[in-house]
Chains A and B, each alone.
Chain A
Amino acid sequence: MYFFTLAVTNFTMQYLHNIGAYFLMIAEMFRKPTKWSVMRTLILKDVDDLIIGSLGIVAFISFFVGGVVTIQTALNISNPLIPKYLIGFATRQSIVLEFAPTFISIIMAGKVGSFITSSIGTMRVTEQIDALEVMGVNALNYLVFPKFIALMLYPFVISIAMFLGILGGLIAVKFGGFGTVEDYILGIQTDFTPFHITYAFIKTFVFAFILATIPSFYGFYMKGGALEVGKASTTSFVWTSVVIILLNYILTQLLLS
């Protein structure tokens, strides 16, 4: 019993320590800004790596998942009394409220998050972060802040995901014979609540912050060599996903209930 209590205490202390270190990292990220001419280049590079570089996979997944959501909805509406326009309505609600902001963020935790952790982790292993610090650069500002700014364009990615998801549904309806295009378009216009878009983008901004900072935390504070870089990437994906799911629940409760 003693050892069990000791293990639980150590485990809890370790997580509390990490949470504290994470918030200290965020505070440090805004201190001692890097020279603007250098920062501008870093931001543009991160926009290219994190946003532009993610468009392809996001577009592909959104389009096909939109189609699948539509097919599954259509197949589950077998009662002739249920109007066909509900297929479009259900697709829109699923994509705007959950699929685009949350599901795409989980995918981005894998793609962008592991990229951030492994690139910063490799810089740690190869002493590039030490080199920055010796030069008097605030390494957290230099490495994490541009990613945070670049990911403020993340709602742009999610807008594309929403559009392509609904478009994928439209194509599935048209070519799958699950209803008419007119019904689908009527469905996506039915009971439209503008606040749902606001809710989706509030979530998106919060998830963008998480996507920039948690992977950076695991990369920046990693110790060891190449193997540990791989482990840090995995851990960062797990925790980014967990935090996104938890915050999704909390924000939904706060904003929609």
Chain B
Amino acid sequence: MIDVKNIQKSFGDAHILKGISTTFEKGKTSLVIGQSGSGKTVFLKCLLGLFSPEQGSISYDGKIYSELTDAQKRNLRSEIGMVFQGSALFDSMTIMENVMFPLRLFTKQNKSEMEDRADFVLKRVNLEDAHHKMPSEASGGMQKRVAIARAIVNNPKYLFCDEPNSGLDPKTAIVIDNLIQEITDEYNITTVINSHDMNSVMEIGEKIVFLKDGLKAWEGSKETIFKTDNEVVTNFVYSSNLFKKVRKMYLNENE
């Protein structure tokens, strides 16, 4: 579980996060949504320890990040998997080497053990014949799946994804969403996803945190987001005609 208490972060005069508190539970897929510039990426980078908040605290299963020693932070990082928006695969390595990389860093496994494990997770993300390809030879959807495989290869306790569906066609996006959801359930990990994609919100949002102007404007789940009368949320989530109709139908059905 990740517990966030009143975190604030500024860059010069720009006050990006103005005091956000929330909890991300173990075994659940949580989505952080909001408009561009609402502070989602800064929030995620604070969770990852790439930015230090000026105020507030972030604790991972009771361990407050800012109070950890360097060695403890390093241990904690070995328990974190991250899927970047652009996949961030190392382009000088093959797909297999990319997936094996966290194992080389954090474990004492020999080469064949690492290969077995990498092979297992690549199969898990339905990539069986791409081991020796370079990332540049893989499609966007394949790259995302490799990034997920790399993120889960070391059995992380926490999985973070920054807009995992960006640039993907709707069908591949659903496949990636479902894959993240399945992995979260299967390994009982705490998953936090930054997303703009309303399909993801409706598909896998077990918990949804809506940010606006550096503040938490609303939180709930994919079920409650249909019923909310919070205007800020409805203006954002149901901005398209399609989603307005979907919401209307849902509300009519459940009246």
B102 within 8 A of A: yes
Q: How far is the CA of A126 from the CA of B143 in the complex (A)?
A: 13
Contact check, B78 vs A127: say whether CB atoms are below 8 A apart. Answer: no
Stretch of A53-61, A133-141, A182-190 on the interface side: A133-141
The 9 closest A-B pairs by CB, nearest first: A136-B77, A127-B88, A131-B88, A134-B82, A127-B84, A136-B74, A128-B88, A134-B48, A38-B104
Contacts of A128 in B (CB 8 A): 88-91
Chain B interface main SS type: mixed
For A136, give its contact among B78, B88, B89, B90 (CB under 8 Å): B78
Residue of A with least CB distance to B89: A128
Taking CB atoms and an 8 Å cut-off, the chain A residues in 109-154 that contact chain B are 122, 126-128, 130-131, 133-137
Known: A34-B105, A38-B104, A135-B77. 5 other contacts (CB 8 A): A35-B104, A38-B105, A126-B91, A131-B82, A134-B160
Nearest residue in B to A41 (C-beta to C-beta)? B104
Check: B92 CB closer than 8 A to any chain A CB. yes
User: Which residues of chain A are near B102, meaning CB under 8 Å?
Assistant: 135
Question: In the complex, what residues of A have CB within 8 A of residue B86's CB?
Answer: 126-127
CA distance A135 to B77 in the complex (A): 6
Judge whether B88 and A126 touch: CB under 8 Å: yes
Q: Is the beta-carbon distance between B91 and A130 smaller than 8 angstroms? A: no
Q: Which of B25-80 contact A (CB under 8 A)?
A: 48-50, 70, 73-74, 77-78, 80
Asked if B92 and A136 sit within 8 Å, CB to CB, the answer is: no
Task: Tell me, rounded to whole Å, the shortest Cβ–Cβ distance linking B59 to chain A.
Answer: 18
**What is the interface size of chain A, counting residues whose CB is below 8 A from a CB of the partner?**
17
A130 CA to B74 CA in the complex, in Å?
Answer: 15
Complex CA gap A126/B160 in Å reads 17
Please report the C-alpha to C-alpha distance between residue A206 and residue B124 in the assembled complex, in whole angstroms: 50
Shortest beta-carbon distance from A224 to chain B in Å: 15
Task: Please give, as numbers and ranges, the residues of chain A lying within 8 Å of B85 by CB-CB distance.
Answer: 127
B80 touches A134 (CB 8 A): yes
- Docked Cα-Cα span, A45 to B93, in Å, equals 11
Tell me how far the C-beta of B218 lies from the nearest C-beta in chain A, rounded to whole angstroms: 28
Residues of B within 8 A of A45 (CB): 92
Taking CB atoms and an 8 Å cut-off, the chain B residues in 91-123 that contact chain A are 91-92, 101-102, 104-105
A37 beta carbon closer than 8 Å to chain B? yes
* CB <8 Å contact, B105 and A35: yes
Encode contact with A along B220-235: 1 for CB under 8 Å, 0 otherwise: 0000000000000000
Residue of A nearest to B79 (CB): A136
Residue of B nearest to A129 (CB): B88
- Measured CB to CB, the closest approach of chain A to B44, in angstroms, equals 10
Chain A positions 1-49 with a Cβ under 8 Å from a chain B Cβ: 32, 34-35, 37-38, 45
**In the docked arrangement, what's the CA distance between A35 and B104, Å?**
8
Provide 5 A-B residue pairs closer than 8 Å at the C-beta atoms, listed in order of the A residue. Answer: A35-B104, A128-B89, A130-B50, A133-B50, A136-B78
Q: Which residues of A contact B90 (CB under 8 A)?
A: 128, 131
Q: Whose C-beta in chain A lies nearest to the C-beta of B92?
A: A45
B88 touches A137 (CB 8 A): no
| Chain B residues whose CB sits within 8 angstroms of the CB of A136 once the complex forms | 73-74, 77-78, 105
- Per the bound structure, the CA–CA distance linking A95 and B165 in Å amounts to 58
Q: What separation, in Å, do the CA atoms of A128 and B90 have in the docked complex?
A: 6
Closest CB of chain A to B138's CB: distance in Å?
14
The answer to whether A137 touches B105 (Cβ under 8 A) is: yes
Bound-complex Cα distance A130 to B86 (A) = 11
With a cutoff of 8 Å between Cβ atoms, the chain B residues found around residue A137 in the complex are 105
Q: A130 — which chain B residues lie within 8 A by C-beta?
A: 50, 84, 88
CA distance A32 to B85 in the complex (A): 27
A45 and B198 CA atoms in complex are apart in Å by 44
Provide the residues of chain A in CB contact with B73, threshold 8 Å: 136
Inter-subunit contact B104/A134 (CB<8 Å): no
Q: Which residues of A contact B84 (CB under 8 A)?
A: 127, 130-131
How far in angstroms is the closest Cβ of chain B from A41?
Answer: 9
Return the contact of A134 from the options B50, B70, B89, B91 (Cβ within 8 A). B50
Interface contact A135-B105, CB-CB below 8 Å: yes
Q: Which residues from A are CB-within-8-Å of B89?
A: 128
Min distance, Cβ B157 to any Cβ of chain A, angstroms: 14
Q: Is the CB of B104 within 8 A of A37?
A: yes
Q: How far is the CB of B34 from chain A (nearest CB, A)?
A: 20
Chain B residues with CB under 8 Å of A135's CB are: 77-78, 80, 82, 101-102, 105
B160 (CB) vs chain A CBs: closest residue: A134
Give the residues in chain B near A133, CB-CB below 8 Å: 50
A137 CA to B74 CA, complexed, in Å:
8
